Amino acid sequence: MARAASPMDPPEIRSQPMGKLTLPPGLLRWGRDNGDRIAAVLAALGFALSFGFDYGLDNQLVYLLRSLTIANPGILENDWFASQTTHYHPVFAYFGALLLWLDPSGWLVALVQIAIITAGIAMVYEMLRALGSRRAALAAFFCTIAVVLTTRTSGVATTYVFDSLLQPSALGSLGLLAGAAEFVKGRYFASGIWLGVGGLFHANYLVLAIPVFALAQLAIGLPGLVQRGIRQLGPLAVAALTLLPVMLAAAAPSPDAERAQQILFEIRSPHHYDPEYFRSALVPFAAYQMLGIGLAAHLLRGRRTAAGRYGILLAALMAAVWVGTAFQTIVYWPRVVQIFVYRLAPYIDLFSIAIACFVLVELAIAPATVRRLSPAAMGLALAGLVLLGTFGNERRNPFPLLLAFSAVAFGLSALGLLGERAKLGFVGRFWRRRGAWVVLGVSVAALSGLPSALAKTRERSSLLSDKKPNAMLAWMREHTAADAVFLTPPDLDWIRYHGRRAIVVDWKAAPMVPSELVEWHERLRDVTGREVRSRRDLRGYNQLNQKRLRELTEKYGLSYVIVRREAARTLGFERAPAYEDDRFIVYRL
């Protein structure tokens, strides 16, 4: 006789057919609720992978330098820039040091950058998702990805939302995009936290976020302003206190301030600060705004809706950049110039493109939307499209894509409107039931450029390159003392980082504190033997002679000098080189 079940018996284990996988109901529900998010993250990941896997290039040679010294104690202690100047990204320095300590090869640095880009671009979807239906938001996001595959998120004054390198601005971008998404959703405290985190990694984002989001909160209205302002700006204030020593050092009154501004604005970085260098890029910049605002003017109204907050944020960003532009052109105010408002320009481009795509999708899904577009708004959008086609960057101009999206959207809208007539009622019924899916399918087709972009990943990746390591750098690391000081061609910005030995100066590594920037310029003058007014003057190093070398050795305590092979005759040394290859000769002093 079977025994009755007891409360102490173990739970019954029911067998499952072999090969059959049963997912927990909670996981299934989560998948159904977030399937659109998964698709968006996958699209964002594809975009991120199209940048490739890079390490040890360009800006990283400066921004990861402090990280390198933390992860490898005892190197570069005699290097002026690495050990004696103010490093203005202290939080990033320790973050980078952790990555390099875990993986000195740089692969972890590259993979973290891919994750940051994926998360940041996915935040754009979160903004669109707050504006309307998931299918409309997903279709608009796919169209946005298709456009930014062309633009690479580049903007005015050589700015960008993301590029292939992990640097402080990448984390600043993630903070700004996540903060923007939370702001649109009305979650102001979460928005402030994200903005504060991004600002901790890059102070420029912190300095710009405070007035932009303060203005946005003011635009929402006076009722509840104090409470909203505290939630929005409180985390930013905490982050500002953390970075206060660095910001005070850069902004403190100094007898070198005027000279330092001249060096920064006119010699080292006119591509960032002088509108003459990027004046032509301001027209496409304005064109994106005309297109986005023109199409979405009917949507971006109100103060307490997600769409209204989207419009308010876009307007606050635009105000910061255009007012800052006025203080660089109409009235010149160096302090405003130094804030570098163009840091925000590529985000305005991105948000304008995203909202334009969203409205185009709405037009296709809900044809009656076209009745909400005023003639003035349509004219503004059309003018923006024409300006973009006329003045956009030849290599990175998304005009053909945006024109095609517009034609398809208005064509489908016209088809849907025709379906409202009695004789074409089946068209209307079909469109009401399946229109959103049709538009989503069209938007997936718009991502046809992603496979070709991914096919170029290898050639865009320094870590996947077949290029052999530089033998001179290996010789420096293995055969010279850790405290050696090298005199190097100042246009070569990779010797210090990869050779791991102190140098006198290079063009790339320019400090921001006024007195230090002035010294940087004086060092360049010393090693080139001429007044340096632009990068072209660095060629003066190739006329290095023994007399000037003796003076530099006495002043900077040099151990070695590196010259290009073609410049060795000018130097006139008869001694045997310590190292030579087909490009460089190194002499011990």
- pLDDT category at 429 given cuts 50, 70, 90 is low
The answer, yes or no, to whether residue 236 has pLDDT greater than 90, is: yes
Quick one: which of 161, 122, 169, 182 has its CA closest to 345?
A: 161
Rounded distance between C-alpha atoms, residue 19 and residue 266, angstroms: 69
Res. 5: pLDDT tops 50: no
192 has pLDDT over 60 = yes
Which parts of 197-337 are beta strand (E)? Answer: none
pLDDT tens digits, 328-356: 988 888 888 889 999 999 999 999 999 99
Amino acid 32: pLDDT: 76
Residue with tokens 């003017």: 297
Q: Please report the pLDDT score of residue 318 as a whole number.
A: 98
In which band, very low, low, confident or very high, does the pLDDT at 12 lie, cut at 50, 70 and 90?
very low
Q: What angle do CA 59, 61, 64 make, to 5 degrees?
A: 95
Coil vs helix vs strand at 588: strand
User: What is the predicted pLDDT for the residue at 14?
Assistant: 46
* Span 545-558, pLDDT tens digits: 999 999 999 999 99
Q: Is the pLDDT of residue 206 over 50?
A: yes
Residue 148 has pLDDT above 50, yes or no: yes
Least confident of 142-146, 278-282, 407-411: 407-411
Averaged pLDDT score across all residues of the chain: 90
Of 4 and 256, the one with more pLDDT: 256
* Cβ contact 341:156 at 8 Å: no
34 alpha-carbon distance from chain centroid: 27
pLDDT at 253: 76
Please give the pLDDT value at position 413: 81
Q: What is the pLDDT of residue 8?
A: 42
Where residue 454 falls among pLDDT bands split at 50, 70, 90? confident
CA angle 371, 375, 376 (to 5 degrees): 130
User: What's the pLDDT tens digit per position in 151-176?
Assistant: 999 999 999 999 999 999 999 999 99
Taking the domains of the chain in order of start, what are their residue ranges? 35-55+105-455, 471-588
Confidence of residue 15 (pLDDT cuts 50, 70, 90): very low
| pLDDT recorded at residue 31 | 73
Burial tier of 343 (Cβ tally within 10 Å: 0-12, 13-18, 19+): buried
Q: How far is CA 501 from the centre of its chain?
A: 30
| 69: Cβ contacts below 8 Å, ≥ 6 apart | 75, 76, 82, 83
pLDDT for residue 244:
81
pLDDT of residue 552: 97
Residue type, 519: E
Percent residues over pLDDT 70 in the chain: 92
- Listed in sequence order, the residues at least 6 apart from 350 whose beta carbon sits closer than 8 Å to its beta carbon are 124, 144, 148, 153, 161
State which of 179-193, 256-270, 317-331 shows the largest mean pLDDT: 179-193
HSE value, Cβ hemisphere, 13 Å, CA-based, for 195: 31
| CA distance from start to end of the chain | 100
Task: Give the tens place of pLDDT for each residue, 111-127.
Answer: 999 999 999 999 999 99
333 vs 502, higher pLDDT: 502
Instruction: List the strands of the sheet with 584-588, edge to edge.
Output: 502-503, 485-487, 560-564, 584-588, 579-580
Here the tokens at position 283 are 């027209």
- Check residue 211 and give its pLDDT: 96
pLDDT at 141: 94
Helix (H, G, I), strand (E, B) or coil at 183: helix
DSSP-derived secondary structure letter, 2: P
> Which pLDDT tens digit goes with each residue over 54-108?
999 999 999 999 999 999 999 999 999 999 998 889 999 999 999 999 999 999 9
- The length of the chain is 589
Output the pTM of the full model: 0.92
> How many Å apart are CA 524 and CA 304, to the nearest integer?
55
Q: Is the pLDDT of residue 245 over 90?
A: no
* 6 backbone dihedrals φ, ψ, rounded to 5°: -110, 145
Confidence of residue 286 (pLDDT cuts 50, 70, 90): very high
Q: Exposed, middle or buried: residue 86 (CB in 10 Å: 0-12, 13-18, 19+)?
A: middle
* Beta bridge mates, 584: 564
